[in-house]
């Protein structure tokens, strides 16, 4: 059975150095300007969807046209500052999301390739340990701990066939 290699890629130490340098630059630049929410807080606060974003833009236009109607308790300067900061980070967020998705997708394919190769090796060890190939039963015993409840039958079969040969 041929193995499907879903992806074949590598990163040089220079590539990783550049990536980490770029990430450090980003982290340093946004430090003190961004917030990390807890999972509960993320549930508490919303995002502007397209319809709501368009509505907020209309509200802003009305506040600009009729500043006398802006309530005294609303800080219009802070509203404008928040609006501009959000408009500034949205394109960056989209780019970073794209980069994250590419890295995450690559990691998933690499993980699948790695797991499939490991399973192929494990299955081979299982098969040849059942045929009592010397040195394989300990390997199989160790690797089968990943799948509790499945290995005991094969191990018992190997033990009984070994002890019957000894008699």
Q: Is the pLDDT assigned to residue 64 strictly greater than 50?
A: yes
pLDDT at 128: 97
Domain count, the chain: 1
The answer to whether residue 12 sits within a structural domain is no
The answer to whether residue 148 sits within a structural domain is yes
For residues 29 and 43, what is the distance between their CA atoms, to the nearest angstrom? 27
pLDDT at 52: 95
For residues 52 and 58, what is the distance between their CA atoms, to the nearest angstrom? 10
The answer to whether residue 40 sits within a structural domain is no
For residue 133, what pLDDT band results from cuts at 50, 70 and 90?
Answer: very high
Residue 116: closest CA among 10, 3, 8, 7: 3
Q: Half-sphere exposure of residue 105, counting CA atoms within 13 Å on the CB side?
A: 7
- Burial string for 106-117 (b: 16+ CB within 10 Å, else e) reads eeeeeeebeeee
The answer to whether residue 137 sits within a structural domain is yes
Instruction: Please give the share of the chain, as a percent, with pLDDT higher than 90.
Output: 83
As a three-state string, the secondary structure of 106-163 is: HHHHHHHHHHHHHHHHHHHHHHHHHCCCCCHHHHHHHHHCCCCCCHHHHHHHHHHHHH
pLDDT at 2: 53
Looking at per-residue pLDDT, the higher value among 166 and 115 belongs to 115
Structural domain of residue 100, as residue ranges?
Answer: 48-166
The answer to whether residue 156 sits within a structural domain is yes
For residues 87 and 105, what is the distance between their CA atoms, to the nearest angstrom? 28
The answer to whether residue 23 sits within a structural domain is no
pLDDT at 4: 82
Q: Considering the entire predicted model, what is its pTM? A: 0.74
Give the model confidence (pLDDT) of 72-128 as tens digits: 999 999 999 999 999 999 999 999 999 999 999 999 999 999 999 999 999 999 999
Q: Phi, psi (5° rounding) for residue 129? A: -70, -30
The answer to whether residue 33 sits within a structural domain is no
The answer to whether residue 80 sits within a structural domain is yes
CA angle 157, 162, 167 (to 5 degrees): 125
For residues 48 and 53, what is the distance between their CA atoms, to the nearest angstrom? 5
């Amino acid at each position: 059975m041929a193995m499907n290699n879903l992806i074949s890629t590598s990163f040089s130490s220079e590539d990783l150095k550049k990536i980490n340098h770029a990430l450090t630059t980003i982290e340093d630049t946004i430090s003190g300007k961004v917030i990390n929410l807890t999972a509960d807080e993320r549930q508490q606060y919303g995002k502007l969807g397209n319809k709501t974003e368009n509505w907020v833009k209309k509200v802003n236009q009305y506040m600009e046209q009729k500043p006398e109607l802006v309530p005294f308790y609303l800080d219009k300067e802070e509203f404008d500052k928040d609006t501009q900061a959000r408009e500034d980070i949205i394109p960056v967020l989209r780019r970073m999301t794209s980069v994250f998705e590419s890295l995450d997708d690559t990691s998933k394919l690499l993980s699948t390739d790695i797991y499939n190769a490991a399973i192929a090796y494990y299955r081979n060890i299982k098969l040849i340990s059942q045929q009592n190939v010397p040195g394989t039963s300990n390997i199989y015993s160790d690797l089968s701990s990943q799948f509790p409840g499945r290995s005991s039958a094969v191990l018992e079969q190997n033990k009984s066939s070994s002890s019957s040969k000894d008699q």
